[in-house]
Structure 1
Amino acid sequence: MINYDNPKIYQLRSIAVALTFCGGFIDAYTFIQRGGVLAAGQTGNIIFLSADIAKWNLPGALTKLATLVAFIAGIMVVEIINYWPHRSHYWRLMILIAELATCFIVGLLPKTVSNIFIVPFLSFVMAMQTTAFSQIEGQAYNNVFTTGNLKKAVSGITRFVFAGVSEQRIVGLTYMQLVLGFASGAITSAILQRIWAVKTIWVVVGILLIVGSYYGRLLFLRNRLWKKNRK
């Protein structure tokens, strides 16, 4: 049962898994449909950027560099909002709406549009997503790439099995669920792209609409409860 008085509603497992699914979905989408660039996986982009520089592939290098800069900017924006004392209770919801709108517009753009005008914008909103929704039930996690989640999943399960640390069982299974969510998103994206091509990203629009509506309703109920208790 959901505790509506909980100030950490954004950490709900259901929200975390859904956003991680979207993270895998979008990265697979941009890699296949938008020039082999990862919207969120900046480790891969730095490697691809280095390869493009070595090959004197200027257009490819510029796209990956712009994507990296956009990701950094997205993190900075959320950190600034997070420390702004007059921010709205709904600021995380606004980020989901911005991501939803971006994904919808990207689905309208044909492949003839240069990737430098597409992937960096996705990178920006994904950076905001992962920075704003950075915890699952009190544990730090990442919802747009999965290396850290995989490490924590394996570490938790190993400590439970071989060291008998009972609380690590839940930790390991939680992160493994996130890893599977990311992988499921990437696989689903790759399969659906065979049918819908660039419009496949509209699946994310639908998911974010559901997640945003759910999260927004929880925020509304929580804020109404707080106002009632203050009377």
Structure 2
Amino acid sequence: MVGGFIDAYTFEQRGGSLAAMQTGNIIFLSVDVAKRNLPSLMTKVAAILFFSLGVLAVSLFKHRHNTHYWRIPTLLLEMLVCIIVGFEPRSVSDIFAVPPLAMVMAMQTTAFNAIEGHGYNSVYSTGNLKMAMIAIGEFHFHHNRSQLISALLYLELVVAFAAGAIISALLQLSFNVHAIWFAAVGILLIIVGYSIALHQKNIHFSD
């Protein structure tokens, strides 16, 4: 939901750019090149670069911290960036909003990349939709219940992403650039819930 929320926000409030879906940014960048739209071009180039740096940062960070709680700092940074961006008026260049969001989106999808043993993308839906359809096809031919569970899981992720985008669009009607603060609240709830789950899991293993 957070991935859909933030991409809908940047597309509508921050110059038609995307924080997470770099495939879209590459396409929009090509259009900007053709139209010689330099300001928007630079924002998308920076978003792609910062997204790449976010993936690299998490890849390095997780090998330096031998703890189950290593993912939480990525969420804290994401929440902080959302809060800061919400204070930036539209008069501020999009290059100060979209690339930082792209970086934390990359950190989120790199840190959280599996659920119930299934690899997934947490900030875009193409791969999740593909995996859902593959699982449905496998279930049709083999009637393996695990494939049906996989299909439902991936479809749930797709629906959540779409729901996040819809909620974002609706909130933007009233809150404009400040709507992203609701994403920050959502991330805070995730941090609390995830921390509690990890704590309970550690207690279970210690017993």
TM superposition score normalised by structure 1: 0.85
Q: Which amino acid aligns with 2:54?
A: G
Q: Which residue of 2 aligns with 1:38?
A: 18
Deviation at 1:224, TM superposition (A): 4.8
1:78 equivalent in alignment to 2:58 = yes
Q: Which amino acid aligns with 1:41?
A: M
Instruction: Report the CA distance shift for 1:115/1:176 in structure 2 as closer, same or farther (over 3 A).
Output: same
Q: Which amino acid aligns with 1:70?
A: F
1:132 equivalent in alignment to 2:111 = yes
Q: Which amino acid aligns with 2:6?
A: I
Q: Which residue of 2 aligns with 1:12?
A: none
Q: Which amino acid aligns with 2:28?
A: F
Aligned partner of residue 142 in structure 1, secondary structure:
coil
Q: Which amino acid aligns with 1:105?
A: I
Picking from 12, 27, 40, the partner of 1:47 is 27
1:103 equivalent in alignment to 2:49 = no
Mapped partners of 2:21, 2:57: distance in 1 = 19
Q: Which residue of 1 aligns with 2:124?
A: 145
Q: Which residue of 2 aligns with 1:63?
A: 43
1:168 equivalent in alignment to 2:179 = no
Q: Deviations over 1:100-128 (max 9, x none)?
A: 11101111111011000110000000100
Mapped partners of 1:46, 1:201: distance in 2 = 24
Q: Which amino acid aligns with 2:122?
A: N
Aligned partner of residue 91 in structure 1, secondary structure:
coil
Mapped partners of 1:207, 1:105: distance in 2 = 15
Q: Which residue of 2 aligns with 1:117?
A: 96
Q: Which residue of 1 aligns with 2:181?
A: 202
Picking from 71, 74, 79, the partner of 1:92 is 71
- Number of residue pairs the alignment of both structures matches: 207
Deviation at 1:192, TM superposition (A): 1.2
- Cα RMSD for the two superposed structures: 1.4
Contact 1:110 1:198 in 2 (8 A): yes
Mapped partners of 2:118, 2:112: distance in 1 = 11
Mapped partners of 1:57, 1:211: distance in 2 = 38
Q: Percent identity?
A: 49
Contact 1:104 1:202 in 2 (8 A): yes
Deviation at 1:42, TM superposition (A): 0.4
Contact 1:81 1:87 in 2 (8 A): no
Instruction: Report the CA distance shift for 1:224/1:171 in structure 2 as closer, same or farther (over 3 A).
Output: closer
Mapped partners of 2:78, 2:20: distance in 1 = 13
Runs of 4+ in 1 over 6 A off after TM superposition: none
Mapped partners of 1:39, 1:223: distance in 2 = 34
Aligned partner of residue 83 in structure 1, secondary structure:
coil
Mapped partners of 1:34, 1:219: distance in 2 = 35
Q: Which amino acid aligns with 1:73?
A: L
- Structure 1's unaligned 5+ residue stretches are 1-20
1:171-186 matches, within 5 Å, as 171-186=150-165
TM superposition score normalised by structure 2: 0.95
Aligned partner of residue 41 in structure 2, secondary structure:
helix
